[in-house]
Structure 1
Amino acid sequence: MHQAAAKLPAHAESRRLSALRSYGILDTPAEAVFEDITRIAAAVCGTPISVVNLIDADRQWFKSEIGLGVRETPLETSICAHAILEQDFLEVPDTTIDPRFASNPLVTGDPNLRFYAGALLKTPDGLPLGTVCVLDTVPRALTQVQIVTLQALARQVMAQLELRRMLVEAQALNQHRARVLATAGHDLKGPLRAALYALGKARAADETDRDARLESAAQDLAYINQKFGDMIAGATGKGGAAAPELRATDLAPVLEDAARVWARAARRKQIDLVVEGAPCVASSDAALLETLIGNLVSNAIKYTADGGRVSVSCSGRDASVDIVVADTGIGMDASRVEDYFSAFRQADAASEGLGIGLWIVRQAAEALDARVDVASALGAGTRVTVSLPRV
């Protein structure tokens, strides 16, 4: 007869549940960044099922899942409920010969699970919240590389959860720290997508090419980990994240670099991405301005249909220098423009991303002493003007 997993001692379970709920993640909609993580886990481990799983008081809830088709299941049959009792990682090569799972209804009946591996999601003080896990209907074992990758993905899930909680706290306490958190978190998406691409290609590659692609993916994941460390340091005032130093800045290289970063995304959609206009110099910070412009270009490409056009231009006026990012995209409801500049808001709720690109633009503009003006209408494209002070 199947027995559910034991629970932690009452005081530890109370602390664990309190920590889980402090992240505000339960019952939130599916999001691209977590969907990416389950896709990577399934691709690396070669399993039909992959889950980002959180253990609540009486259920296990899936922030993202592949291969199950449900968002939650009862705790009584949860294999992950056993995993959170482990130190870091649980692998069950064959559930039918493990006394903890042999009588589990998920093993004896649909979906006939035979293999499980889960890397623990842990808070900074070690409280277990759930797992990033992979499952299969045939017995198997993971390689050391697959285990290490699954553990790395679990750390990235916790990075996202910490980011969101810290962003809310920072927004209330300090706008500069919030800007650091959001910018660093937003920058994690690019390398995560690159890792997913490399791992997907590795599945079909020969052995030599596979090793190279896995190494590339590992470097991207290491970069994410480094960026998260930088974010923590900046948010706690322990390094980096100094207020920008405004100085005479040649804007041409900044605009060209921002366009170069997003050129590949534009080509995928056959969008004509052009940088035009006269050379300009303004009082600014090149790195932060590139983040600001990069987010505007990213949004323009995201919301412009295939075959459209996105332009970036610069021109001078008496007291300011104007950078204009214009597109032929879906446009914005003019009455809701301010809403789009709030954190975690998107013009299209079904689109990928965190929904904080325009919020970063607003925060960066404030730090640069710049003004942002938006001219847009639904179906008529968008024109965003960033006005920087002259030197």
Structure 2
Amino acid sequence: MNKANHEANVIHPIPANEMDRIIRLSELDLDYSSLSDNFKDLTHLAARISGTDISLVNIIDSFTQWTVGSHGIDLEQMTREESACQYTIMGDDHFEVPDLSTDQRFQNNFYVKDPISLRYYFGVPLKDKGSDGVNFGALCVLDTKTKSLTPEKVELLKIIADEVVNRLKAYQAIALLKSKVKDANESKKKVAHDIRGPLAGIIGLSQIIAEQGKSANLDEVMDFINLIHKSSQSVLELADEILVDETARNAAAGNEFNLAMFADKLHKLYDPQAINKGVVLDVDVVKSVDHIPISKNKLVQIAGNLLSNAIKFTPRNGRIHIVLNVIVQSHQNVLAITVSDSGTGMSQKLIDQILNGTAESSNGTSGEVGYGFGLSLVKHLVDGLKGSMQITSEPGQGTVFNILIPQGNA
């Protein structure tokens, strides 16, 4: 049975709160390629407790299951429709498959066939208990032999899953704290520089008045006082600027990112998907601006969903081209992301539905499942960053997405 026929016989589940789930996941702003060291001890512990060969921490976004922690197997990602954890995130407790090879939902997937030949699966959802119970993904244990887990072991795995969620949130908090510390240090330098001039002027003028004393006439004294007032006013305006802009600075913090780094990240995360589909993925950077700092806030989520969508709707031997640019302006730089593909294209009606957030899912060119939320998430994230998204396409002619995201003061 080929993949398309197999997919037609399998109903892939979608959580009722899927849009809320992927929005909450996007707020964590995770870099899926740099988390593995955070979970090595927990995946090892989970495998020991369950007595299984393999343990994984999997995050599930709109299109992909990302393995961010592993023990017993070298795995980084798979399509969402191939995963067993997509069923785990549907519930509040756990999901178990005694024998994957006899279950129609999984028996044709690569990890069930030789040489991996997995049979047993047990997963616990990674639940964010503070946000109406959305599930980010799953902690799962797997084995090449069928088995069962005692209630005591199940409870221990749930405790480990809770710790995974705690660490994900800690990871987010630490990243935010680092950004704020960096921003505070930059603010301190700016304040020290900007306040030195006005204060020096105030001190100098005050000293002149003190030295001249009664010998200065009233007009000269008034001139000195006016100069002191202007210098004091500039200090006050600086204080107001610091207080008013503090929130904006914090929101724009973390700009230790540029176009070259962004391109490398996209290649690392999405080359495997393109290679697996048999399409060419090109990422080009405008060299003249590849060093300019940009905010990495939500960029991987935005570009990643666009790339996954393009891969899904581009047939084998097709091409996907992404161009990254910074439009330098006197008052504000703008990040420009263009994603074009040679895929199936779309009608104006579908484009309007995407931009209005009412689009429904459809299957890809090789039978990939459509979950219907990836482009809606992109629109949500771009709007949240005060950016814009334009779509140009015709059926059978491919699609071009143009994203513009303002980057704060230049």
TM-score calculated relative to the size of structure 2: 0.39
